[in-house]
Amino acid sequence: MRQRISEETIEFAKSVNVFDIAQAIGLPLEKTGKSYFTNCIVHSEKTPSFSIEPGKNRYHCFGQCHDTGGKGAISFIMYYEWKKYDETLFLQAVEKVCYYMGHPVVYTDGSRIESDRPVKPPSQFRERVDSPLAEPQMITAVYRSLIDKLSLKKEHINHLRFERRMTIDVIGLRQYRSYPERPYVIAGEINQEFTTLEGVPGFYESVRQDGSGTYWNMSGINGILIPVRNEYGIVQGFQLRVESPKLHPIIEAVNDHPLHAEISDTQILTVHYKKKLIYSGKVQDSSKIPITIAGQLVGNVRVKKRNKYIWLSSTEKRKGSKVVPTYHVAYPPNGMPDGSTIDCSVVDITEGPLKGDIMSEYTGRPAVCFPGLSQWYLAVEGAMKLKPKKVILSIDGDAIRTIHNKDTDEEKEEAGEVVRSLIREFAAEGVSIDLALWDITRSSKGIDDLYISGMKPKLFSIIDFSK
Ligand SMILES: [Zn+2]
């Protein structure tokens, strides 16, 4: 029986621009204005009359063909390979597009076929398939429905109870949920309440394998969904705490050598060159492995651990949207959901919504959390909504870590800079600032672990406007 091709692979093939596939095949392309001309891929000719317009992702034969023309790489490859447009060739066309782009074809049972072509990096013409964000009220309503429909698995309850020391009551109040095993069932149920889920981060439209239509789906993996709330307690999004973040390889090939790397669940890295195994070995997070053939360097494989916390998002998926990162306001359980009865004169500032939830239970104060170090400024925006007189900066010891910036390829220590920036911004708002410090060698390194183990940080006054 033919294996089913995964959604991701189909979405990839759909996102490929005609110009990119023509380049990957190796067709000679002559630029004329906004278009490129080449010999027709269907009829034979001596003067190029076949046009490709990258900006519109379209192609057309102005020569002898009457109806050769269309949009996107999938139909293009049908004409190129089979000299006709035929829907029944859809899946074979998807495989061909992946092959030429040097992209693996992944099947729903996890098996994959690697392409032995060099990986073609996406060009500026890559199709962006994100939809604009839905109205905030719509997103709120969909997320409310999602929380209603999901439950919390036993293993996740156990994690929150025994490792995070939360009571069943608090777990219930915070509305943590498990990412569903059959996300399309949940998405389908929610879609019955709304006309569309377009533009709601986390949801996207899947196309049926046989091309007979579409259905709504969710984008995520097994883990705990942590509601991210604003100052009114309204859910703005979800962070997903991933069970076991996988290691993944980043290939840095020398001279476009066609390298393919994979890391198994047992952390074994295998590297293939033209379908031949050239490297196999156990790897760890942040190792960098030089790959050689007959003593000659053909590239490096850098090993990265994926983040433990990711946003529920459906960027680059059909009718999906990218999440807009936001702050999280954690009120102590007795002040939930909207915090209207809570004294907000002193507010804790920390990284990560789950950490904030735990802290506020012990401190009795609201905690405002930024999602990641690079988005520290969101904490200022969130905290000022509560009009505090003082903030306590509780930035974890493990936050002082090396940050690798993908864009500039720079490694730098960011936490110290974040603390300085927070001090500067809060001081400018006229808010007093305490810095929380604790011994990370004696207790666990996280501020939440510190509170859980019955200790408190030492507070140092940085700026005091009350005098
Ligand atoms: Zn033609």
Digit-coded pLDDT (tens) for 280-314: 999 988 889 999 988 889 889 998 887 789 999 99
Read off the tokens for 429: 């708002």
**For the segment 334-362, what is each residue's pLDDT rounded down to a tens digit?**
999 899 999 999 999 999 999 999 999 99
Q: For 348, which DSSP code?
A: E
Q: What is the CA(48)–ligand 1 centre distance, in A?
A: 9
Q: What is the CA(102)–ligand 1 centre distance, in A?
A: 27
pLDDT at 443: 57
The answer to whether residue 272 scores a pLDDT higher than 80 is yes
How far, in Å, CA of 394 to CA of 384, rounded? Answer: 17
Burial of 69 (0-12, 13-18, 19+ CB in 10 A): middle
Q: What is the CA(39)–ligand 1 centre distance, in A?
A: 8
Average pLDDT over residues 397-403: 48
Could you say which of 78, 113, 148 is where a domain stops? Answer: 113
pLDDT at 129: 62
- Structure confidence at residue 444 as a pLDDT band (50, 70, 90): low
- Structure confidence at residue 402 as a pLDDT band (50, 70, 90): very low
β 214-218/288-293 pair status: unpaired
Q: What is the CA(69)–ligand 1 centre distance, in A?
A: 9
Mean pLDDT of the chain: 88
Q: Are residues 148 and 23 in the same domain?
A: no
Distances (CA, A) of 65 to 3, 39, 56, 61, 68: 35, 12, 21, 6, 6
Asked if residue 240 belongs to a domain, the reply is no
How far, in Å, CA of 365 to CA of 350, rounded? Answer: 13
Q: What is the CA(59)–ligand 1 centre distance, in A?
A: 11
The enclosing domain of 377 has a CATH number of 3.40.1360
Average pLDDT over residues 114-124: 79
Number of domains in the chain: 4
pLDDT at 47: 87
Q: What is the CA(100)–ligand 1 centre distance, in A?
A: 22
- Structure confidence at residue 399 as a pLDDT band (50, 70, 90): very low
Q: Are residues 404 and 439 in the same domain?
A: yes
Burial of 89 (0-12, 13-18, 19+ CB in 10 A): middle
Q: What is the CA(40)–ligand 1 centre distance, in A?
A: 5
Asked if residue 402 belongs to a domain, the reply is yes
Q: Are residues 331 and 458 in the same domain?
A: yes
User: How many of the other CB atoms lie within 10 Å of CB of 413?
Assistant: 12
- Structure confidence at residue 185 as a pLDDT band (50, 70, 90): very high
The answer to whether residue 446 scores a pLDDT higher than 90 is no
**For the segment 64-104, what is each residue's pLDDT rounded down to a tens digit?**
887 789 999 999 999 999 999 988 888 899 999 999 999 99
Q: What is the CA(95)–ligand 1 centre distance, in A?
A: 24
The answer to whether residue 35 scores a pLDDT higher than 90 is no
Q: What is the CA(34)–ligand 1 centre distance, in A?
A: 20
Average pLDDT over residues 405-431: 74
The answer to whether residue 404 scores a pLDDT higher than 50 is no
How far, in Å, CA of 247 to CA of 267, rounded? Answer: 7
- pLDDT above 90 covers what percent of the chain? 55
Tracing tokens 């939809």 back to the chain, one arrives at 131
Q: Are residues 286 and 391 in the same domain?
A: no
pLDDT at 97: 96
pLDDT at 157: 97
Q: Are residues 320 and 179 in the same domain?
A: yes
> Which of 9, 210, 221 is CA-nearest to residue 106?
9
Q: What is the CA(22)–ligand 1 centre distance, in A?
A: 15
Q: Are residues 346 and 461 in the same domain?
A: yes
Q: Are residues 353 and 283 in the same domain?
A: no
Distances (CA, A) of 230 to 192, 235, 341: 27, 7, 16
Note whether 112 and 26 are within 8 A (CB).
no
Q: Are residues 191 and 79 in the same domain?
A: no
Q: Are residues 196 and 56 in the same domain?
A: no
pTM above threshold 0.75: no
pLDDT at 122: 64
- Structure confidence at residue 124 as a pLDDT band (50, 70, 90): low
- CB-side neighbour CA atoms (13 Å) of 55: 5
Average pLDDT over residues 106-117: 88
The enclosing domain of 137 has a CATH number of 3.90.980.10
Asked if residue 241 belongs to a domain, the reply is no
Q: Are residues 341 and 290 in the same domain?
A: no
Q: What is the CA(63)–ligand 1 centre distance, in A?
A: 5
More confident of the two residues 191 and 45: 191
Q: Are residues 317 and 329 in the same domain?
A: no
Asked if residue 368 belongs to a domain, the reply is yes
pLDDT at 442: 64
Asked if residue 60 belongs to a domain, the reply is yes
Asked if residue 12 belongs to a domain, the reply is yes
Average pLDDT over residues 412-428: 82
Q: What is the CA(30)–ligand 1 centre distance, in A?
A: 16
Full DSSP string of 246-300: PEEEEEEESTT--EEEEE-TT-EEEEEETTEEEEEEE--TT-EEEEEETTEEEEE
Q: What is the CA(47)–ligand 1 centre distance, in A?
A: 11
Asked if residue 1 belongs to a domain, the reply is no
Q: Are residues 277 and 363 in the same domain?
A: no
Whole domain around residue 99: which residue ranges? Answer: 7-113
- Structure confidence at residue 244 as a pLDDT band (50, 70, 90): confident
Q: What is the CA(14)–ligand 1 centre distance, in A?
A: 23
Q: What is the CA(60)–ligand 1 centre distance, in A?
A: 8
Full DSSP string of 376-428: THHHHHHHHHT--SEEEE---GGGSSEEEETTTTEEEE-HHHHHHHHHHHHHH
Asked if residue 102 belongs to a domain, the reply is yes
pLDDT at 210: 75
How far, in Å, CA of 10 to CA of 319, rounded? Answer: 15
Q: What is the CA(49)–ligand 1 centre distance, in A?
A: 7
